[in-house]
Structure formats: structure tokens, C-alpha cells
Structure 1
Amino acid sequence: MSRLFTIAVAFSFLSLLLTACGIGGKKDTTNTLRIIHAGSLTLPVHELAQAFKAENPGVEILTEAWGSKAGARRVIDINTPADVFMSADYMVIENMLIPDHAGWYIPFATNELAIVYTPRSRYAREIDTDNWMDILMRKDVKYGRSNPDMDPCGVRSVFTIKLAEKKYGKEGFANALLSKDRDNIRPKETDLIALLESHHIDYIFLYRSVAVQHGLEYLQLPDSLNLGNFALNDWYGKVSMETLGAKPGETITEVGEAMVYGLTIPFKSENTELAEAFIAFVLHPDKGQAILSRLGQEPVTDFQNPYGDKLPESLR
């Protein structure tokens, strides 16, 4: 292989990388859509993007996956171009983006929390809904969760652990488990999958949809713990925690509730027309919602949106 050819390939790769990162200089954004999304939406967003592009030839979609809170900070602090922001928790939009960086949100999917493992995980043949608390506390077992200050799944993991303590009357369990294996905390929940598959850890708190998408084993938790049942919001609301807010030094109190994913168009969007078209596709029952359902995330059916009158006309 010639040196000139090697240089050309390297330059082409660098150009592609810069374009994908949104830092390759000015370009025509007419047919380009930039999406920042939750890590748990990586596969769904890929399939949504492919289906949307099939209906809209010539459209280019660039995506970034982050913990939802970290993604919001990309919009706030780093001025990352984003036409659509898709969060694993609508409250990230409420608490961090509204009113300075966005004016509304739309709920678009649900989920539930599970304990995910592989056949090689210690005690994989034993774990069940009656003994998982004891198994995770064993000294020879390692578990992982995501960072609550960066990722809603991390917050929800804490809520599930606290709810388990309340439900089963095991005083001190939550503090004990949350103090264990802290070196296995990662920025977003999907970062934990590699640790699990490499057998570095045995169990992770993860969304059921992600486990299904990756073909992983999982323990389905009861509705009282999985944060997936809207009828149990009063029960979920008995637990809370403090996390970092949108501004330096600011903290917010997050309260347990059933999972609701939300999306919005940030004020910094450079292509609101295409963003609205993509969101309409996501919300369409026979298009985006069908894709999400197939990938383990059902539509939101029981939610009062306080921003209904602030939505773009095309999305009302």
C-alpha cells in the first residue's frame, strides 16, 4: 500500500469523523438533522432514523448518545448543535432545559427497570424475585449502576433499591447496597454492558428494553419496584434523592414516578422544520411508535402534558 494512499484514507476518515462530531465547519443544514439522545435509545434511534430516511431520501441524520443529563449539559454548556433532544426522563427537559433552552416537551415512550445478567454471572441460576437483594449483597458478587448525576437510569436504580427496602422492611439495605461496588458506577447505563459481557461484573440495573435489544438475561422485577406502572405513582413517590441541577452548585430533589421518556426541540435547533417532521414520525402509531414497541418500549397512555398548548402547530 502506497504512502499516498494511506494518507488519503486517513484524511477521509478524519473528515468523516469531524463531520459526525458536528465540528467539520459550516455546512448546509437543510437536510441534516442532529439528535442528542439517551444511551438507552441508541438502537431505537438508529432504527427510527433509518425508517425516517427511507421516507425522506436525501436526509442526513447525525446522532450522539449520552446519559440524558449529560446530553442536556451538551446543549446548555457546550453549545452542541441539536435539532432534537430525546431523554430517558421527561423531567430532565423540565429541570434542565426549560425555560432557557427549550419551551416544551412531548412524552413518547415508557420503560421499566430490571436486573440484567449473563449465564456466566455468579448465582445466575439462583437469582429470583425473592433473593436478588441477598445475592447482590454477597461479597463475591459485583454489580453496576449508572451515575445519578448524569443519567436517569442511575436515579431510577437508587429509587428501586430504596423501594425494595421499604417493601420488604429491610432497614439499612439501601445504604448498604448503594455503598457497595461504587467503582462500577458509569456515566450512562449502556456503558455497563461491556463490563457485564466481559464478566467484570455480574449484574447491572438496566432498562428492560435494552436487555431485550441486546439479548441479555434479566430478572423482571414486580411493578412495585420496576417503576413501570402509572397506577403506582403514589407508592413510587415515597422515595427521592438529591442530584446535581442545571447550574454549578445547584441541586434538585428527584421523586420516584413511573418512567416517561420525553423529547423536545432545543431553541438552538438549526432545522426546526425537519425536527418537527422527525418527531411527528416518532409519534405516529404505525411508524415510530410501532418501532419502539417492537424494541420493548410501549407508548405513553396516561400522562397530562402541561405544555400541550405550547407545542408547534404541526405536533398538536
Structure 2
Amino acid sequence: MRNLRIWAILCLCVCAAVMFCGCTGTSTGETPEQGATTATPTPAEKIQVKVFHAGSLTGPFEKLKAAYEEEFPNTEVLLEPAGSVDTIKKVTENGKPADAVASADYALIPKMMVPDHADWYLTFAKNTMVLTYTSDSKYADEITAENWYEVLGRDGVRWAFSDPNSDPCGYRTPMVIQLAEAYYEDDQIFENLIEAHSDITVTEENGTYTIHATEPNPDSTTLTIRPKSVELVQMVQSGGLDYAWEYRSVAVQNDLEFIELPAAIDLSDIEHADTYATVQIECKKGDGTTIYTGAPIVYGVTVPAIAEHPEMGIEFVKMLIGPTGQEILTGDGQPPIVPAGGYGEVPAALNSLVAMKV
């Protein structure tokens, strides 16, 4: 009997507690009592616009990102630089979605992305190969456009370029050095500078030179090779290297000294396209190889088929090829192509800024 009374008292206490909690709660639409807290609405998350791009575009794209986010405050642009070959592989081989992809060699887009991963692309800027250095580099007070290859061959001089298998600047550098042989009338330039310090070789057949660079293996004492050309900038600035091959725009953006080469070998001029085409380079592609042929340096951009926000990617491209992008590129030492060249099914939103090509 005593146990029953205890259980009855406990049940009454529980019921009273439940009723008390229900009575003191605040129902929807009521004003909370003083001292009570209310949940603060979470602001809508910004749209993340992912842009994969060549490392040499880092400077201008940082400025473009700021302009884009100002015009579209509900967005956050995520820039992801890499060598252009690796940049495109992120989409085509790894399936990583990007809302825009920009390459330092426009030809990589039709070669690697069309038609499975993109159905259009634009050409939007040009560039030039240069040899960069600082005032502290060895023989900085002697090097010129006439003797650079002799200076690079001197004992103790450390120089570099990027990996031909990852970065267009990397496969363009051996092309420039091979083209230099005919221009300077010295058939030992390539052998002295590259073959003597790596496993990169060259063969000739019917006037066309093929550079074999699938396994570079530099000695890393005289010649250094890194995945991206922009990685070499800090090495030159810190004194870890005396010279590095870069695009002119990268040299300008990083306040580096540089040697401007003759147009016949610097891959800048369409008038020398036939000369550039006498050199090609064999590089790795998956389990096999591929050939890149010498040509004027032209940058390309597209919006991949797997873009998560294709409309925002198109807006990024529109700003890039419009007045804002043109001004940024010019200021960073990279001549824009105006109007941009269009190939394939270019979106209607870009038509007013594009000259369609065959």
C-alpha cells in the first residue's frame, strides 16, 4: 500500500512538470518575454563559382575575381591555378566540376575537351616567351638577347623551366631553345643547354625537329624543372635560381628583369607561325604520348559541360573578354584578343563580344 502511494506521488510530480513546461513555453507569433533569445536567420550561402586556370593567369584572375564579386555580391569565386594540361585533366579525367576553364594554350581545349567535355571555346589573349632573372643573378650585367644561350651554358649558372608534361610554358621552352639554333646559326645550343643536363632529346626528320620530353629527369644542379612555371618565380627572386623561362606577363606582374627574344623564336608572332611549326614536342598523355606543335601563344577559355553553375561561368567569361578583362590583361602585360575568337556553339550571351571563327 505504501509503495502504491509513492508511485502515485511520482506520477503526479511528472505530470505537473510537463504542464509547467508547456505553460511557460512561447508559442509561434507571441512576443518573447524580456531576456529570452530568438534564432537569427542564417544568410543565404553565396554561390561558389569555380574557375580552373593556367598558373600564368593568377595575377589577372585575382583582379577579375574582385571585380566579379563586386558585380555579383551573391557569389564567391574560387580560383584554382595549375599547369594547363593538369587544369584540364581535373575536368576530363578526375570529373571535378568547374564553372570556367582557362588554358595558356587554347589548342588544348579542342584537343582534350571537345566534344565530350565542352562544345565551344574562345581565344582571348596572347603572350610571349621570355627569360627572367634579377639583378643578383649571375652575369645579370652581361646577358643580352644575343648571348643568353652562352650565359646559360656557363659553369655555376642555375636555370629552369616547367614540366613539359604538365604546363604549356614547359613544352614551349624547349621549342624556343631548338628554334634558337637556326636563328643564331649554332647547332649545339639545344645539346649544350638541355641534352647535357636532362634526358630530353631531339631528333630531326625532313626539316621538322621532334623533342622527346616524356621523362625529363633534369640534373637539378644546372637545370631544374618544376610542375608549374609560376613556381619558379619565387626561386628566382630568392636567389635559388639565376634564370627561369616564363611568359612576359608573369615577368611583368612579378617585377622580374627579362630578356625579350627575337620574334622568330619567342612564339609571339603569327607571321612566324610556319617557322614555329618546324618544332614539335612529344609529351606524356595518360598511358601514351601526344605531340604539341610549335605555334603562336594564344590563351583559351570555356565553360565545361559538367559546370555546376554554367550561367555564372558564362558571366565570368563575359567579364574576361569585355572591357574589364581587357583592361586587367593589358595592365598585367598580356595583350587581349579583341574581339575574342569564338569556336563551336558559343552561348548567345557572349555573341556581342566574339568574332566567330571557322
Determine the structure 1 residue equivalent to 2:171.
155
Confirm whether residue 216 of structure 1 aligns to residue 256 of structure 2.
Answer: yes
The answer to whether residue 321 in structure 2 is matched with residue 283 in structure 1 is yes
TM norm structure 1 = 0.86
Are 1:267 and 2:305 counterparts? Answer: yes
Deviation at 1:249, TM superposition (A): 2.0
Instruction: Give how far 1:30 is off.
Output: 7.2
Aligned equivalents of 1:29 and 1:76: distance in 2?
A: 28
Which whole-Å CA distance do the structure 2 matches of 1:74 and 1:207 have between them? 23
2:279 is equivalent to residue 239 of structure 1 = yes
Match of residue 55, structure 1, among 66, 71, 84 = 71
Q: Work out whether 1:228 is the aligned partner of 2:268.
A: yes
Is structure 2 residue 321 aligned with structure 1 residue 313?
Answer: no
Quote how far apart the aligned CAs of 1:220 are.
1.0
Please give the per-residue CA displacement for 1:240-269, whole angstroms capped at 9, x wherever unaligned.
Answer: 111123xx2232211111110000111110
* Two-structure CA RMSD over aligned residues (Å): 1.7
TM-score, with structure 2 as normaliser: 0.76
Residue 185 of structure 1 pairs with residue 220 of structure 2: no
Matched pairs, number: 284
More strand by share: 2
Is 2:98 the partner of 1:82? yes
Q: Contact (CA 8 Å) 2:49, 2:78: kept in 1 or not?
A: yes
Query: For residues 280 and 339 of structure 2, what CA distance do their matches in structure 1 show?
Result: 22
Q: Which structure has the highest helix share of the two?
A: 1
Secondary structure, aligned partner of 1:244: strand
- 2:49 is paired with a residue of what secondary structure? strand
Matched letter for residue 260 of structure 2: Q
Residue type at the aligned position of 1:88: A
Contact in 1 for aligned 2:122/2:340 (Cα 8 Å): no
Separation in 2, partners of 1:302, 1:37: 21
CA distance in 2, matches of 1:29, 1:78: 26
* Amino acid aligned to 2:348: E
Equivalent position of 2:190 in the other structure: 174
Which structure has the greater CA radius of gyration? 2
Instruction: State, as a whole percentage, how many aligned pairs show the same letter.
Output: 37
Correspondence for 1:143:
159
Matched, 1:102 2:118: yes
**Is the alpha carbon distance of 1:313 and 1:75 closer, same or farther for their aligned partners in structure 2, counting shifts above 3 Å?**
same
Change (3 A) 1:30 1:110: same
2:288 is matched with which residue? Answer: 250
Query: Matched residue of 1:51: which SS?
Result: helix
**Offset at residue 303 of structure 1 (A):** 8.3
Partner of 1:297: 334
Q: CA deviation at 1:36?
A: 0.5
In the alignment, is the contact (CA less than 8 A) between 1:230 and 1:302 conserved in 2? no
Of the candidates 33, 37, 52, which is equivalent to residue 36 of structure 1?
52
Alpha-carbon separation, structure 2, partners of 1:174 and 1:94: 30
8 Å CA contact retained: 1:83, 1:270:
yes
> C-alpha distance in 1, partners of 2:48/2:229?
28
Cα-to-partner distance string for 1:20-65 (whole Å, 9 max, x where unaligned): xxxxxxxx98722100011001111100110111112221111111
How far is the alpha carbon of 1:302 from its aligned partner? 9.3
Report the CA distance shift for 1:301/1:255 in structure 2 as closer, same or farther (over 3 A).
Answer: farther
- Please list every run of 5 or more consecutive structure 1 residues that lacks an aligned counterpart in the other structure: 1-27
Indicate how the Cα distance of structure 1 residues 65 and 303 shifts in structure 2: closer, same or farther if over 3 A, else same: closer
Q: CA deviation at 1:304?
A: 6.2
How far apart, in 2, do the equivalents of 1:34 and 1:168 lie? 45
CA distance in 2, matches of 1:271, 1:217: 40
1:29–1:270 contact (8 Å) kept in structure 2? no
CA distance in 2, matches of 1:111, 1:240: 19
Contact residue 29 and residue 271 of structure 1 kept, 8 A: no
The whole-number CA distance in structure 1 between the counterparts of 2:255 and 2:287 is 40
Matched-pair contact (CA < 8 Å) for 1:117–1:203: yes
The correspondence for 2:245, drawn from 191, 205, 208, is 205
Q: Which amino acid aligns with 1:314?
A: A
Match of 2:236 among 196, 216, 226: 196
Q: Deviations over 1:96-135 (max 9, x none)?
A: 2222222221001111010000111000000001110100
Among residues 108, 133, 138, which one is paired with 1:122 in the alignment? 138
| C-alpha deviation, 1:297, in angstroms | 0.8
SS of corresponding position for 1:223: coil
**What's the CA shift string for 1:61-86, capped at 9, x where partnerless?**
11111001111111122222211001
